[in-house]
Amino acid sequence: MIKVGVIGSGSMGSGIAQVAAAAGHEVVLFDTNQDALEKAMKKLQKILARLVEKGRIDAATSIEIFDRITPASSLNQMQGSRIVIEAIVENLEIKKSVFSQLEEICGDDCILATNTSSLSVAAIAAACKNPNRVIGLHFFNPAPLMPLVEIIPAIQTSDAITKETRGLVDSWNKITVLAKDTPGFIVNRVARPFYGEALRIYEEGIADFATIDWAMKEIAGFRMGPFTLMDFIGNDINYTVTETVFAAFYYDQRYRPSFTQKRHSEAGWYGRKSGRGYYDYAEGGEMPIANENKDLGDQIVWRVLVMLINEAADALFLNVASKEDIDLAMTKGVNYPKGLLAWADEIGIQECVDGLDDLYNEYLEDRYRCSPMLRRMAKSGNTFY
């Protein structure tokens, strides 16, 4: 088995370390903060103990997995790794600094991977003298539970590195999809309207948080409504990703952030972790009651869904990923009830185009422009599948 290096012992880094160790690899987990590293190792021990209690693994396997992970206080301990996965703060300059250091430490055949969710892989690779071995490897949190990993080759990444990396991650019992190095890759790009359009519906006074969540969960079949999910992710994190994607797309109006979310983030109303978000999670806090009017619910679902379909179609139009990988990413990465392109076929492409045109004609905002792919498909009578 090969040696795997992981940089960053936060929930993502330690989760990736657990995945690699469970696959039988020797793992070196590095963090500049020794306290954080010690806490991560203790937390990992508890997680493995819980898996034993639940009967998912036996005690001997739990010990083997834990013993395969070595906490490291020096980057030099990454020597001899076949792959090093960086999972640190989303700051381009810090990541570039780490990658240029790694290049001096690791052998020429070591794959250097970044777990960035929104930064340019090409920009990170540019920090290296040999950028063709740098690749994006975007796991979803929690890494041991979420099956999807987005594989993102930069324009500098060699085909051999892409193939080897995908094969390795596939061997870890993960579902991999290949994405172009564009802002948000597949999931964080295509999912923007799930939050953005829900916030817009609220801001227009059409429905409150609870009603929108009820409609998306009970009528559309999503596992969580957008406001419950934003509170779960954290409004600080979700808002930052939205801002990053908006700026990265040269301020395309489709990705414009919401003042409602900005104010919640500024107020420290991050969601579950702060005790208050769109909902009150404090002890004794009451959850609001949704207006379960079916017509209103259908209106909400249609508006969010047609915007999601439009985003998925545009990602395909611009060759971000294949239609299969786009649908797979949304069902396995964020648990959507159906692939959005398959859903579009089910609804009818012409109906999706008409719905988007109705919104555009009402608002005259570029936000609601229909993807050329949907329009061409409606004209020719084609379907995605």
Catalytic residues: 117, 138, 150, 188
DSSP label of 320: S
Question: Token pair 């999503």 is at which residue?
Answer: 222
**Three-state DSSP class for 153?**
strand
Task: List % helix, strand, coil for the chain (3-state, nearest 5).
Answer: 55, 10, 35
Q: What are phi and psi of 30, to 5 degrees?
A: -110, 140
d(CA 27, CA 3): 6
d(CA 274, CA 103): 39
**Three-state DSSP class for 70?**
strand
d(CA 350, CA 381): 8
Say which residues have a Cβ less than 8 Å from residue 13's Cβ, sequence separation at least 6: 6, 7, 29, 31, 40, 85, 87, 88, 115
Beta bridge mates, 4: 27, 83
d(CA 336, CA 148): 13
On the CB side of 318, CA atoms within 13 Å amount to 16
Beta bridge mates, 153: 135
How many CB atoms are located within 10 Å of the residue 107 CB?
A: 10
